[in-house]
Amino acid sequence: MKITAFNGSPRAEKSNTQIMLEAFLEGARDAGAQTETVFLAKKSIRHCTGCFACWTKTPGRCVLKDDMAELLELYRGSDIVVLACPIYTGTVTGLMKDFLDRSIPLADPHFKKSAQGLWGHVERYERLPETVILSNCGFPEQEHFRYFRSCFQYLSDIGGMKIIAEVYRGGGEILSVDSLLLKPLLYGYKRTLRKAGREVAEKRALSAALKEELEKPLIPPDRYIEEANKYWDKLLAKVPKSS
């Protein structure tokens, strides 16, 4: 089984998204999956120009010459794709949005009604990968994923995406904090992510017990905010008075 993760954080290898992804993919590899990670920040992906040439002039191919053709081949050749991306202003990063927009060559312009009763586009290819959504955000509560998750739910509702698992981590900045006190906590969370990766690779779904475990706060939200404010204060104290 081939799993390809597309990491849409501008921080690429240094991202909290990548910390989550590494643990998740490790679990998938435990179950025998072959995994690959693509950092969108390291690729050339231009904005979609809305010309629809990929539907009407060169069906299935975008006329823009950048890395997207190669990425769509990788996408199509995978059994599962992980769309991994932090929350930026309530939704996906610009990198991930460009990647999603530029995925429209995977669809055919004709319309069909989805299982949810909404008109969407016909899929160009018979076989498309199943999708896992993985994200973290700065604010502590899981409720902050409401809008982000509904964006992907929409893509699923119109028929172009089959979401098999969602992994969200509020208060995600804690993942990259290097502190002895936090080590056991973060180790425990990574172990849960690893279990999730294994389960998804084995069963193409997450059990109710693991879903519940993944949603639990790592530390109480008030405590997280207190520590975050101290962190900002420390950084701001270094700013020269004239700035």
Ligand X SMILES: Cc1cc2nc3c(=O)[nH]c(=O)nc-3n(C[C@H](O)[C@H](O)[C@H](O)COP(=O)(O)O)c2cc1C
**Strand 162-169 to 130-136 pairing:** parallel
- Residue 86 binds ligand X (CB under 6 A): yes
CA distance 72 to 103: 7
The rounded distance, in Å, linking the Cα atoms of 216 and 225 is 16
Residue 4 near ligand X by CB under 6 A: no
- Based on the shown chain and the rule CB under 6 A, indicate whether residue 89 belongs to the binding site for ligand X: yes
Number of alpha helices (DSSP H) and beta strands (DSSP E) in the chain: 8, 7
Stretch that binds ligand X, among 44-52, 81-89, 182-190, 198-206 (CB under 6 A): 81-89
**In this chain, which of 4, 15, 35, 142 binds ligand X, going by CB under 6 A?**
15
Tokens of 202: 């084995």
Of 102, 121, 124, 144, the one binding ligand X by CB under 6 A: 144
Question: What is the closest distance, in whole angstroms, from the C-beta atom of residue 120 to ligand X in the complex?
Answer: 27
**Number of residues forming the site for ligand X (CB under 6 A):** 17
**CB contact burial 134-170 (16+ within 10 A = b; e otherwise):** bbbbbbbebebbeebbeebeebbbbbbbeeebbbbbb
142 touches ligand X by CB under 6 A: no
* Residue 27 touching ligand X (CB under 6 A): no
Residue ranges binding ligand X (CB under 6 A): 9, 11, 15-17, 86-90, 136-139, 144, 172-173
